[in-house]
Structure 1
């Protein structure tokens, strides 16, 4: 994560994990089911395009949240799936029953 994103707080609403950067948002839509959190869609405001890090920062902060809260991840979002594939140490929080687990 780029240093400029490290001190930005992760905000959890009823359906999103979100960070705000210079008044713009990067977020992940999620569903929470007991001990699992399904991440379904990652998006950033167009004004954050080109930073290359806002989406990665919200993903990393969300993964830390999931781990810190003893939850298991279901990475349905293609961006999150690719992020974990690129950073395989995060596979530790993916639920082993996830359909694409063996592809990570």
Structure 2
């Protein structure tokens, strides 16, 4: 499988013992995708939030793609509970290898 393409945005990854988030800051606005850790082998995408100022720039897709790439490189699976993330998995069949 090929890796997901590099994002045109700078995506920061913050993590704790049980949760994490991917963040893009652009022109004073912040978009984020949050997840919960389910053991050592899976993450559950809880929410994707993109402010109106960033809409149409594919920031949300970039956040989910980053999580997919990170999951793939670390051997984890992804369960997209967030409706946006779930829709992106449906649109990107190349991500199915990490789908829980």
> Residues 26-48 of structure 1, C-alpha deviation per residue, up to 9 Å, x if partnerless?
21111002111000111112221
**Structure 2, unaligned stretches of length 5 or more?**
none
**Structure 1, unaligned stretches of length 5 or more?**
96-104
> Residues 30-88 of structure 1, C-alpha deviation per residue, up to 9 Å, x if partnerless?
1002111000111112221233x111111111111111111111111111111111111
Q: What is residue 54 of structure 2 aligned with on the other side?
A: 48
Q: What is residue 94 of structure 1 aligned with on the other side?
A: 99
Give the alignment's TM-score, normalised by structure 2. 0.78
Give the alignment's TM-score, normalised by structure 1. 0.75
Cα distance in 1, alignment partners of residues 63 and 31 from structure 2: 6
- Whether the aligned pair in 2 keeps the contact of 1:11 and 1:19 (CA below 8 Å) is no
Cα distance in 2, alignment partners of residues 21 and 86 from structure 1: 25
Structure with the higher fraction of residues in strand conformation: 2
Q: How does 1:1-104 map to 2 (within 5 A)?
A: 5-6=7-8, 8-14=10-16, 15-34=20-39, 35-51=41-57, 53-95=58-100
How many residues are treated as equivalent by the alignment?
A: 93
Structure with the higher fraction of residues in helix conformation: 1
